[in-house]
């Protein structure tokens, strides 16, 4: 279930009419683990059931993931590819960042259970400066103001990735036209709108909020800019949030 912890009116982006957007394509991963600056590796589950292990020597997985997941645990709803951001590669294994609590959790997966691809895009969010920057490798392709979490519900710092892209049912809502759900969770809220208080990056319905600390933890940005990014960023794109 996905219910991003943003609030401010307008309901949740998982309300009726919301639909996940197919991810942008990315290039096959290089055979070498040495990557050009700014490039990351995405792992997309291709096995019927992929186990996540504490380490390669573990006898049993601590959890499993299928090739897709559902936004509302409702089989009638569209599914989203299950992707992870790769943090380390070893022969036969990959260590991936997990979209679970606590933030920053990771685990090992069999390399044969996932399809690896390289991704030149990444995002940096400077919470103190209320600024977001999107990069293609080392070149900035967008920089602009954002609204971030209020003092009581701060945006959690750390490394995350884009897990789902939603087209909102009402572009005039607080979520704007699009919302990226991240692998991050609020440290201040345990639930939000029936979900686990996931953090997102999305548009807005009040440009005057940009540059302020007013959300429940999500990152609100310019509507035109997020629309542009949806045409480029694949799921699994790294998002570094700095305090």
* Cα–Cα distance measured from residue 90 to residue 163, given in angstroms and rounded to the nearest whole number: 24
CA distances from 209 to 17, 146, 215 (A): 26, 8, 9
CA distances from 41 to 8, 10, 50, 100, 145 (A): 34, 35, 18, 19, 28
Catalytic residues: 202, 218
Residue in this structure with the two tokens 């259970």, named with its chain if needed: 113
Q: Please enumerate in sequence order all residues whose Cβ is within 8 A of that of 161, keeping only pairs 6 or more positions apart, or say none.
A: 83, 84, 85, 97, 99, 182, 183, 235, 236, 237, 238, 239
Compute CA 89 distance to the chain's CA centroid, rounded to the nearest angstrom.
Answer: 21
Specify whether the CB–CB gap between 21 and 230 falls below 8 A.
yes
CB atoms within 10 A of CB 167: 17
Compute CA 39 distance to the chain's CA centroid, rounded to the nearest angstrom.
Answer: 16
Which three-class secondary structure state does DSSP give residue 208? Answer: helix
Specify whether the CB–CB gap between 31 and 197 falls below 8 A.
no
Residue count of the chain? 243
**Which structure tokens are listed for 155?**
């945006």
């Amino acid at each position: 279930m996905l219910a991003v912890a943003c609030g401010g009116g307008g309901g949740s982006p998982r309300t009726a009419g919301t639909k996940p957007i197919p991810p942008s394509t990315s290039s096959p991963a290089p055979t070498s683990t040495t990557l050009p600056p700014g490039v990351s590796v995405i792992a997309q589950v291709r096995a019927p059931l992929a186990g996540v292990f504490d380490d390669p020597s573990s006898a049993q997985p601590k959890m499993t993931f299928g090739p897709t997941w559902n936004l509302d645990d409702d089989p009638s709803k569209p599914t989203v590819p299950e992707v992870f951001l790769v943090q380390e590669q070893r022969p036969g294994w990959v260590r991936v960042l997990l979209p679970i609590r606590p933030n920053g959790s990771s685990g090992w997966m069999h390399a044969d259970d996932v399809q690896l691809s390289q991704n030149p895009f990444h995002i940096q969010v400077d919470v103190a400066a209320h600024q977001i920057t999107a990069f293609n490798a080392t070149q900035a392709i967008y920089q602009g103001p954002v609204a971030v979490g209020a003092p009581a519900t701060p945006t959690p710092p750390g490394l995350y990735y884009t897990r789902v892209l939603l087209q909102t049912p009402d572009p005039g809502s607080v979520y704007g036209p699009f919302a990226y759900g991240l692998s991050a969770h609020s440290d201040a809220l345990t639930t939000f709108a029936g979900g686990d208080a996931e953090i997102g990056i999305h548009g807005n319905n009040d440009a005057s909020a940009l540059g302020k600390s007013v959300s429940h933890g999500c990152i609100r940005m310019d509507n035109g800019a997020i629309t542009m990014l949806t045409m480029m960023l694949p799921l699994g794109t790294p998002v570094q949030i700095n305090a």
